[in-house]
Amino acid sequence: MSKNNLKLAQIIRQEAERLQSVYEIATGDPDGKAIADGLGHDTPELLRVLARLVEGQTVYRAFGAPGNWGYGTPIGDALFAAIRDGSISTAPAKK
């Protein structure tokens, strides 16, 4: 992994933490779960997913299991469908 990729991942994570803090302050909810409209509470975690992808993790490792996002949610359902049809592999990354 290049030094530049590591730096980019670090910056993305910092932005995720800043956004999470804004949600916590705005809602008084430390998990940010009270935000249902607008960007939504998944946005900080999606930035963290992006950081993991930049670091070279597989899509499955970067996102985690569909249940981590919640079955019946758009992201959870999309991950489940992609795993089921073989678009996303759950196998470990090749080294």
Is pTM beyond 0.85 here? no
72 with 41: CB under 8 angstroms? no
CA–CA distances in Å: residue 61 to residues 47, 54, 74? 14, 12, 18
pLDDT band per the 50, 70, 90 thresholds, residue 81: very high
For the stretch 32-53, pLDDT in tens is 555 544 556 688 888 899 999 9
User: Residue 89 corresponds to which amino acid?
Assistant: S
pLDDT in tens, 62-76: 999 999 988 998 888
